[in-house]
Amino acid sequence: MPSPVVRFAPSPTGRIHLGNARTALLNYLTAARLHGRFVLRFDDTDLARSTEAFAQSIEEDLLWLGAVPDAIYRQSQRLALYEAAAQKLKDAGLLYPAYETQGELDRRRKLQQSRGLPPIYDRAALKLTDADRAKLAAEGRAPHWRFKLAHEVVRWDDLVRGESHIDCASLSDPVLVREDGSFLYTLPSVVDDLDMGITHVIRGEDHVTNTAVQIQISHALAGRAPLYAHHNLLVDATGAGLSKRTGALSISSLREAGVEALAVAALAVLTGSSDEVHPVASLGELAEQFDLAHISRNAAKFDPAELRSLTARTLHMLEYDAVADRLAAMGVAGPQAEAFWRAVRGNLETFADVAVWRAVVQDDIAPVIEDAAFCRAAAALLPPEPWDETTWSAWTQSVKTQTGAKGRALFHPLRLALTGRETGPELAKLLPLIGAARVRKRLGA
């Protein structure tokens, strides 16, 4: 596979969700693995529904995921290119005016269906004479413009689905330009793919039916077409798809809920493939494991609850360098920061839990004293600093010898007094971080 140029082309009419992230990440990882380019292209020609706020939120979501684009384009700023392409197709006799209203088209389709005929456009507009068109124009009718499909079988080697084909004789000539001169999705998408040198169009399988039309238009405009890969779509346990308009599982809401970006990436990319969903330490690691050929033809069913588990498992494996900046932002910095991370990461469910253990290590907390006399006796046996991870074992052995306490009776009251919690990280690792002064104070010495 040559170095790819790929694109993610959302419409900024809502917040992107986990399913959109799947498409974006499949494109980004393809580019990353093969040293290609990843383009973000906003399909914002629907001026009534597209907003700059949604565009900015999409950029922020991709940045959070780590899928940073090499270039960003807006279709609303490229209209001249689409107009030139439309004119080229008109000059070639491949884009023709049609004047039927939606009501007329609906009635015609119903009539065809009643006769057992496929409900495709009958190309009645091609039979209009110049006089007919002039008469319609005089009546105030503006045409929409249809692309004249070659009635042939279009074949392509889909990088996910394998050998694919569509018989274009079974399709209506698609409308590319509306009556008001605005463009539907198809023409700008094809023109941009050609102009930007997109080599691989990686998108959801709901676009398979568009492919033959786009290949024909691509060949008409440039004599070539990109490669295509149509991946399965994420669905929930009931088989229902995700909607950008409902905001369900939006990337922004997952971020606010404390889900890790790498957990989102692993779930979005590996679900519905031959690879088991597992935590990854970086997008680079995921890129090395990822392969379009591993994507299944079956539905990509996922469990939203798995994101919580995957977030915890991701945090448990991350090294300090990967989180140092985030720790510093939460007040954990300096020479003990790495030791702190190694001590607490295995007990985190979300990164926000860092604040709990930062307080245990750095702040004055309210200890829970289960046995005051025992705690005072333990305090008297504390060894002098400096402390390390062997201090806990040596200290508790002394406490055991002096008091006779063992097992839960030995360890439980010490954990409650030192952390105020029933469970938590290994105290052998926490004790040096808390320090002698706080330990003595919490034990009531």
- The arithmetic mean of pLDDT across residues 306-333, rounded, is 97
Q: What is the pTM of this model?
A: 0.91
Q: In this model, does residue 317 exceed pLDDT 60?
A: yes
Lowest-confidence segment of 11-15, 116-120, 188-192, 214-218 by average pLDDT: 116-120
Output the pLDDT for position 237.
Answer: 76
Q: What is the pLDDT of residues 382-401, one digit of tens each?
A: 999 999 999 999 999 999 99
For residues 242 and 302, the answer to whether their CB atoms sit within 8 Å is no
Q: For 299-305, what is the mean pLDDT?
A: 88
Give me the percent of the chain exceeding a pLDDT of 70.
Answer: 98
Q: What is the pLDDT of residues 56-87, one digit of tens each?
A: 999 999 999 999 999 999 999 999 999 999 99
According to DSSP, the β-strands at 200-204 and 227-231 are parallel
Query: How many Cβ atoms are within 10 Å of 282's Cβ, its own excluded?
Result: 14
Q: If you average pLDDT over residues 239-254, what whole number do you get?
A: 78
Query: What pLDDT was estimated at residue 245?
Result: 61
How high is the pLDDT of residue 240? 78
User: Does domain 1-94+152-169+180-317 fall into CATH 3.40.50.620?
Assistant: yes
- With a cut of 80, say whether residue 248 has pLDDT above it: no
Angle at 325 between CA 322 and CA 330, to 5 degrees: 120
- Who's near 99: CB < 8 A, 6+ residues apart? 125, 128, 133, 136, 141, 143, 144
User: At which residue do the structure tokens 């060894």 appear?
Assistant: 383
Q: Provide the token pair at 79.
A: 């209209």
Summarize the confidence of residues 307-316 as an average pLDDT.
Answer: 97
Question: For the chain, what are the domain ranges?
Answer: 1-94+152-169+180-317, 318-362, 372-442
| pLDDT computed for residue 116 by the predictor | 85
Q: What is the pLDDT of residue 280?
A: 97
Neighbours of 310 (CB within 10 A): 23
Residue 417 has pLDDT above 80, yes or no: yes
In the predicted model, is pLDDT for residue 188 greater than 90? yes
**In the CATH scheme, what is the code of domain 372-442?**
1.10.10.350
| Tens digit of each residue's pLDDT (9 = 90 or more) over 334-356 | 999 999 999 999 999 999 999 99
Q: 13-50: per-residue pLDDT in tens?
A: 999 999 999 999 999 999 999 999 999 999 998 888 99
Q: What percent of the chain has pLDDT over 90?
A: 90
pLDDT band at 236 (very low <50, low <70, confident <90, very high): confident
* 246 pLDDT more than 70: no
Least confident range from 64-68, 253-257, 303-307, 329-333: namely 303-307
Question: What is the spatial distance between Cα 299 and Cα 270, in angstroms, rounded to a whole number?
Answer: 12
